[in-house]
Structure 1
Amino acid sequence: MAVDMDKLQEFLGRFVSDLGATFAAGSVVTGHHLGLYRALAGHPAAAAELAERTGTNSRYVAEWLRGQAAGGYVDYDPATDTYSMTEEQAFALANPDGGVYVPGAFVLALGMLKSEPRITEAFRTGGGMGWHEHDENVFIGCEQFFRPGYIANLIPSWIPALDDVQDKLRAGARVADIGCGLGASTILLAQEYPNSRFTGSDYHDQSIEIARKRAADAGVADRISFEVASAAGFSGAGYDLAATFDCLHDMGDPLAAARHVRQALKPDGTWLVVEPYAADEVAGNLNPVGRIYYNASTQLCVPNALSQPGGYALGAQAGEAAIRQVTTEAGFTRFRRAAETPFNLVYEVRP
């Protein structure tokens, strides 16, 4: 076999970059937990000064800063031996309420990888692994990764993109947030629309417990009811709006869930379906975002679906055609793409 050395070097360059990011994941999470990014944002510092600010050990902080600078996550000034963050670095690394929060993705990734032996064995057996069986950082990191996108888009653009929904929510509507996880989306909606009432449901009892506490902390517990229930078994009827945020593709039987959503909606109700950004064909997903989602799906989404009855395993890159087919088979007659971001596709589905 003849190896093209230029192509080999190009591939090894990609590998080195990937390996560096993999090794850096733990350091990013450390920076998140210890507040190192927040302490550095807007306040350049030498290692000893940053350590003093954060109550940490200066030798560890020095090594951490050097690694962060090598990866381009912070800037280094050799003339003063100090480190700083640009506005863009600080936005992505130090603000969990901004439009993107990079550390949350690494919390999710590290939690996910703890299940590697179990997933490797599932490759041999074809078995599944339920969402509830993963390390708790999967649930926490997932919310930290997706919540900033919801903050940036849910109220400002996604709800207004739906026909008549914003007016209903302002006047007072009944809303079902299905597969709500830790309740980030439910709480955001409840904060914005105080006249409406919300039911958040998830089959994972620990997530629901956390969601209830966070709703109470946010002062909206009086207008949200959280319940432990599957997507095909959540309670109530006569909903003006039902929503599934980044979870329909995880379900073993999304068709049963879709049918339940349809019967729970009012005749003029709306189902807001938010899914990961994906093309219908594999070739259209062979890009950096698709790479994230395919690999996360291998470890999380497909195993969860295969752990449940139903026969589906859509995966995180299912694409619009697959989601449309599920809703059509469930009896919905109207389906359109209402909005999109680099990470999400947003669909409006009606009976």
Structure 2
Amino acid sequence: MDQDKVTAFLERFVSDLGATGAAGSVVIGHRLGLYQALADGPATPEQFAERTGCHQRYLTEWLCGQAAGGYVEYDPGTGTFSLTEEQAYCLADPEGPNLAAAFRVVLGYLRAEQRITEAFRTGEGVGWHEHDEDVFIGCDAFYRPGYAAELVRTWIPALDGVDARLSAAGRVADLGCGLGSSSLLIAEAYPRTTVSGSDYHTQSVELARKKAAEAGVSDRVSFEVATAQTFSGTGYDLVAMFDCLHDMGDPVGAARRVR
């Protein structure tokens, strides 16, 4: 046995183990708004406790762990922790990459580990609806910034004639819409267009309807519980599936229904 190869493998394992543990710490910071609070300026653990209302003892451990992992900065001269502009953009800005939300998705996946293990034995599937809600909410939070940056600026204009149709008063079907972020972005960019979102997951549809109401576009954006093979309506100017076709149990059937 090559001891150097064993050592190299152990180093890889330790890195993965550390990353797994870091996921939990990052999600804690995401849930409690700690990154947003730290983006307001450098702070000692005591100052950070006053700023956030959280317990100083736990915050001290969290800040030290985050600094050791390179997620926040530490100044030994002042004893303060802070975020660089780049860290704040990636972790605290909801319009940025929202990397913490990705860890939220991963932790949600892991809560289904026992069901997935059983699926290995039986060959049965694990449905999207069987996952923890962090999977649905985390996916929406993680993917939304990409849609906000690209959907109406580059993607739709790249389609022949679609931008003109939607500007004139078009109809859009958003399949597998999840919590509806893509649907709302289209509706906000094209105020004369109506958007019909659909998803087979009831909880996601309920959250999407709530978001539409909060955005004040419920008169032009509707959501229904339906699969990609059974969504209602015909004659759409655009049918879209964002980051979901590859997750569907019957992607060919979904594509056939769209056609």
User: If the TM-score is normalised by the length of the shorter chain, which range does it land in?
Assistant: over 0.9
Note if 1:209 corresponds to 2:206: yes
Q: Offset at 1:6? A: 2.7
Identify the residue that residue 10 of structure 1 maps to in structure 2: 8
Aligned residue for 1:191?
A: 188
**Aligned-partner Cα distance in 1 for 2:242–2:196:** 14
**2:140 alignment partner AA:** E
Partner SS for 2:78: coil
Identity %: 65
**Residues 49-64 of structure 1 mapped to structure 2, 5 A cutoff:** 49-64=47-62
Letter in structure 2 aligned against 1:165? V
- Tell me, in whole angstroms, the C-alpha distance in 2 between the residues paired with 1:133 and 1:249: 17
Structure 1: stretches of 5+ with no match in the other structure = 263-351
For residues 68-98 of structure 1, the C-alpha deviation after alignment (integer angstroms, 9 at most, x for no partner) is 0011000111111111111110001001222
Distance 1:224 1:28 in 2: 34
Shift of 1:234: 0.4
Q: Give how far 1:254 is off.
A: 1.2
Equivalent residue in structure 1 for 2:171, among 174, 196, 203: 174
Map 1:158-173 → 2, pairs under 5 A: 158-173=155-170
Report the counterpart of residue 289 of structure 1 in structure 2.
Answer: none
Aligned-pair distance for 1:175?
Answer: 0.3
**Structure 2 counterparts to residues 281-320 of structure 1, below 5 A:** none
Q: Distance in 2 between matches of 1:157 and 1:16?
A: 41
Q: Determine the structure 2 residue equivalent to 1:119.
A: 116
Counterpart in the other structure of 1:130: 127
TM-score (norm 1): 0.72
Report Cα offsets for 1:114-140 as digits up to 9, x if no partner. 110110111111111111111111111
SS of the counterpart of 1:73? coil
CA displacement at 1:178 relative to structure 2: 0.4
Task: Report the CA distance between 1:42 and its aligned residue.
Answer: 4.2
Deviations 1:133-168 (A, max 9, x none): 111111111111111111121122211221211111
Q: In the alignment, residue 175 of structure 1 is paired with which amino acid? A: V
1:191 maps to a residue whose letter is E
SS at match of 2:87: helix
Structure 2 equivalent of residue 27 of structure 1: 25
SS in 1 for 2:157: coil
Partner of 1:234: 231
The structure where strand makes up a greater share of residues is: 1
- RMSD of aligned Cα (Å): 1.1
Give CA deviations for 1:15-71 in whole Å, capped at 9, x if unaligned. 222111110111111111111100111401111111110001111001000010011
Between stretches 12-21 and 185-194, larger displacement belongs to 12-21
- 2 CA distance for matches of 1:53 and 1:210? 30
Name 1:82's counterpart in structure 2. Answer: 80
One-letter amino acid of the counterpart of residue 137, structure 1: D
Inter-partner Cα distance in structure 2 for 1:6 and 1:157: 49
Give SS of 1:199's match.
strand
Deviates more, 1:9-18 or 1:179-188: 9-18
Give the TM-score of the pair, scaled to structure 2. Answer: 0.97
Shift of 1:244: 0.2
| CA–CA distance in structure 2, aligned partners of residues 134 and 113 of structure 1 | 9
CA distance in 1 between counterparts of 2:190 and 2:6 reads 56
* Greater helix fraction, Structure 1 or Structure 2: 2
Residue identity matched to 2:154: S
Partner of 1:221: helix, strand, or coil?
A: coil
